[in-house]
Chains A and B, each alone.
Chain A
Amino acid sequence: MEDKILRIEEATKMAKDLNDKYELDHISEMVKTNTITFSFKDKEYRIRLLNQKEKDELDLFRRRKFGELLQDKNILFSAELIRLYKEKGIDIEEEIDNKVKKIILQLNDKRMKLGEALEKKDPESILKTYADEIEEIENEIGGLTIQKSNLLENSFEKTLENQVIKCLAYLSLEIKINEEFSRAYNKIEDFLKVDEELISKTITYAMAINYRA
């Protein structure tokens, strides 16, 4: 019985190792070739860097959308939204921004302590205590960042950014037909009508390849 459990554990570990190896090989190929290939509903797709013509197209789209959104009186800039939220009792600057600044100071302090403990080769129990505290602080920062991002989701800046990212995804996506890759959709409107999952996958990969932080 014990032997059987050990064999199952071993097989699970082997399967995990193989899976990890496959994932790393896939990532390695992605990084080397600067393209991301993936399958979706029996079709093969590819994401690649935009060429200059496409970059110009993206820039034109951004400027056109900027003008369009500026005309829309229902869309507010984030600074205006922050002011309105404050009037309604949600103080983003005080409750989120200042809090995050304070927590980052705590985080850096803990990192210094852990770094020093690592250098001094302190016992693992001490290292672990610092690491747990850091993880907790990082989670807190993550939560606050998401909270702010959700509150400003409909701001002018975020709306423009979301539209530009969709255009970037549309321009980067290619489909394999007869062993050749070519633009998957001829119009952004057609791309936006496809399966949500394909759009979301394309956005993630297109930003990984094209977006410069």
Chain B
Amino acid sequence: MLENAIRKLAKTIEAQNIFCSCKELSSLKLFDNDKDLSRIQQMYLSFLFFYYNLNVDVSLKKVSEIIFSSEIYEDAYSYYKREKIEESKGKKERDIHLVFKKKQKRKK
């Protein structure tokens, strides 16, 4: 229940604006404390990043605003995006490996 409330808070325009401002202005702080982040603070930070990334994709028109109508949509899209990134990373690593192997064969 608390997690839902924190997620809801991180999703608000106000929270997202403050988060973006904090990224630009180091004098602006999200929390009273600088260290010893509590579980709710860590959770809040991760949701702020989560919604920041979704907002970026919506503004770049990679996905429509309909995504914000359901948390299931939000989670599924983020999962899909992460998996695609992992897949392309894996492909890159395999390509590098292949190039390296070909070079080694040529040397022999």
Contacts and interface: CB of A to CB of B under 8 A. Distances in A.
A43 to B, nearest CB: 22
B39 A31 contact: no
A100 interface: no
Interface stretch (A3-11, A115-123, A191-199): A115-123
Contacts of B41: 31, 34
Residue among B62, B72, B75 with most chain A CB within 10 A: B72
Interface stretch (A68-76, A77-85, A89-97, A127-135): A127-135
Contacts, number: 97
Contacts of A115: 76-81, 83
Given A24-B12, A34-B32, A213-B39, A108 B77 contact: no
What size tier do the contact residues of chain A reach? Answer: 20 to 34
Interface string B5-45: 11011001001000000000000001111001111111010
B6 A31 contact: yes
A212 B43 CA distance: 10
B69 to A, nearest CB: 9
Interface stretch (A59-67, A158-166, A201-209): A201-209
A111 interface: yes
A31 B32 CA distance: 9
Contact of A28 (B9, B70, B75): B9
A209 B40 contact: yes
B40 A127 contact: no
A33 B32 contact: yes
A40 interface: no
Interface string B37-58: 1111110100000000000000
Contact of B39 (A33, A112, A124, A212): A212
Contacts of B12: 24
Question: Which 5 residue pairs spanning A and B have beta carbons closest together?
Answer: A115-B80, A114-B76, A111-B76, A131-B72, A111-B79
Interface of A: 23-24, 27-28, 30-34, 49, 108, 110-112, 114-116, 118-119, 121, 124, 127, 130-131, 134-135, 204, 207-213
Given A111-B80, A121-B64, A208-B40, 4 more contacts: A24-B5, A24-B12, A114-B72, A115-B76
